[in-house]
């Protein structure tokens, strides 16, 4: 057994112990982050479903169910299936509201409804997945060839596209595969082509947001978004690009997508220091030394999708740093991964975020060949 396999085996034991307790304690919730006492919050309050920051439409709500499906695949324990289904049933209510839904329906429904359908053949889950895919496809701007991000909140975002959406494309690949209707995949590829052209810079760094004229498709400007500023390199944006293009290649076989994923991967590997800690933005000033362990976990999972020793070794280095320096394996915090940051200019940094745990578990399981690919 290689060194990384032995280490991954030990981490999986820790994941099993921690998730057994955390899942039971929080089974009625859909958590995003922990409070000061280490207890998970709950975003599943349907009375708040129009509030994308807190309610049922919150973009990370799929990751709790996703973690349960990861645990179910590992352990076969029915309690994980039941908790995953409970969150899926709550999230189905989002479709009735409609207004709060956004481009992140992929993040929300791939790890929940699509995972359920893939693993159990549940027909209602297929319907939820197809419904979500149609909503995502409906956000495509055919002139600019991009999927519109967000809804108008405080500003006009009709022409905005964001790097994160590369992951949402998995919902469209699945919908085409499932329905045999190529439109969904065609939209995904047109969007990915636009991202290759206008988001990915020659050195492998990426823009977070690009604004297009929604009527003509002309590029207006790029924005720093959740990173340090315009022209910077938000690490979680880098992670979405890396993983998103690696998945785009898996689903389409288009060589340029693999080349792009590798370009972004090399940029990330070159910019992560010897300690394996991932900064919030690769181009932020040295102080404050904001980190984002969530970006670390997504980068690692994306590197594993590239299936080569070079990338696997880099992924293991990053995951070991999370395990040894940024993980809480105790009972005092519901979350595993610490020091995650929503965005550079947010007042809050170094918190827990449920999707960091999701990607950490996904990556470690992948090292041991546990579970089917879900994206």
In the complex, the residues that contact ligand GLY under the rule CB under 6 A are 59, 164, 226, 236
Residue with tokens 């929604």: 214
> Toward ligand GLY, which CB reaches closer, 41 or 74?
41
Number of H helices, E strands in the chain: 14, 5
215-228: burial string, b at 16+ Cβ within 10 Å, e else:
eeeeeeebbbbbbb
Nearest residue (beta carbon) to ligand GLY: 164
What is residue 113's DSSP assignment?
Answer: I
| Per-residue tokens: 3 | 């060194």
Peptide bond before residue 288 is cis, with ω within 30 degrees of 0: yes
Report the Cα 98 to chain-centroid distance in Å: 22
> Toward ligand GLY, which CB reaches closer, 198 or 236?
236
Q: How far is the CB of 236 from ligand GLY (least distance, A)?
A: 5
> Toward ligand GLY, which CB reaches closer, 191 or 236?
236
What is residue 281's DSSP assignment?
Answer: B
Contact predicate 319/7, CB 8 Å:
no
Please report, for residues 307, 338, 374, the alpha-carbon distance to residue 310 in angstroms, rounded to integers and kept in the order given.
Answer: 9, 26, 23
Three-state secondary structure call for residue 223: strand
Contact predicate 105/168, CB 8 Å:
yes
- Return the CA Rg of the chain: 19
**Distance of alpha carbon 256 from alpha carbon 249, whole angstroms:** 8
Q: How far is the CB of 142 from ligand GLY (least distance, A)?
A: 24
Q: How far is the CB of 234 from ligand GLY (least distance, A)?
A: 9
Q: How far is the CB of 226 from ligand GLY (least distance, A)?
A: 6
**Distance of alpha carbon 323 from alpha carbon 336, whole angstroms:** 9
> Toward ligand GLY, which CB reaches closer, 226 or 338?
226
> Toward ligand GLY, which CB reaches closer, 80 or 150?
150
> Toward ligand GLY, which CB reaches closer, 207 or 226?
226
Report the candidate in 131, 217, 208 with the shortest Cα–Cα distance to residue 175: 131
Q: How far is the CB of 104 from ligand GLY (least distance, A)?
A: 6
> Toward ligand GLY, which CB reaches closer, 225 or 371?
225
> Toward ligand GLY, which CB reaches closer, 164 or 323?
164
Q: How far is the CB of 230 from ligand GLY (least distance, A)?
A: 18
Q: How far is the CB of 53 from ligand GLY (least distance, A)?
A: 12
Q: How far is the CB of 100 from ligand GLY (least distance, A)?
A: 15
């Amino acid at each position: 057994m290689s060194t990384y396999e032995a280490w991954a085996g030990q981490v999986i034991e820790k994941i099993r112990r921690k998730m057994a307790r955390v899942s039971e304690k929080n089974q009625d919730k859909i958590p995003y982050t922990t409070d000061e006492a280490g207890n998970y919050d709950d975003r599943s309050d349907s009375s708040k479903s129009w509030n994308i920051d807190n309610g049922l439409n919150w973009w990370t709500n799929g990751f709790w169910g996703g973690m349960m499906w990861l645990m179910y695949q590992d352990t076969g324990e029915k309690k994980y299936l039941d908790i995953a289904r409970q969150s899926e049933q709550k999230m189905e209510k989002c479709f009735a509201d409609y207004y709060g839904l956004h481009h992140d329906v992929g993040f929300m429904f791939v790890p929940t409804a699509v995972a359920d359908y893939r693993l159990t053949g549940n027909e209602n889950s297929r319907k939820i997945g197809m419904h979500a895919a149609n909503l995502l496809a409906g956000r495509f701007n055919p002139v600019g060839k991009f999927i519109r991000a967000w809804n108008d909140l405080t500003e006009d975002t009709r022409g905005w596209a964001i790097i994160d959406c590369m992951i949402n494309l998995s919902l469209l690949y699945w919908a085409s595969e499932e329905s045999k209707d190529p439109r969904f995949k065609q939209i995904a590829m047109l969007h990915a082509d636009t991202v290759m052209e206008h988001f990915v810079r020659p050195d492998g760094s990426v823009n977070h947001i690009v604004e297009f004229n929604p009527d003509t498709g002309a590029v207006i400007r790029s924005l720093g978004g959740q990173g340090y500023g315009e022209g910077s390199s938000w690490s979680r944006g880098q992670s979405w690009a890396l993983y998103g293009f690696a998945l785009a290649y898996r689903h389409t076989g288009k060589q340029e997508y693999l080349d792009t994923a590798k370009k972004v991967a090399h940029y990330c590997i070159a910019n992560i220091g010897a300690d394996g800690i991932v900064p919030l933005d690769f181009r932020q000033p040295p102080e404050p030394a904001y980190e984002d362990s969530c970006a670390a976990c997504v980068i690692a999972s994306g590197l594993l999708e590239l299936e080569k020793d070079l990338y696997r070794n880099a992924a293991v280095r990053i995951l070991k740093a999370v395990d040894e320096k940024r993980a809480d394996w105790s009972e005092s915090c519901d979350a595993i991964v610490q020091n995650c940051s929503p965005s550079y200019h947010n007042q809050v940094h170094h918190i827990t975020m449920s999707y960091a745990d999701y990607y950490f578990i996904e990556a470690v399981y992948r090292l041991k060949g546990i579970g089917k690919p879900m994206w």
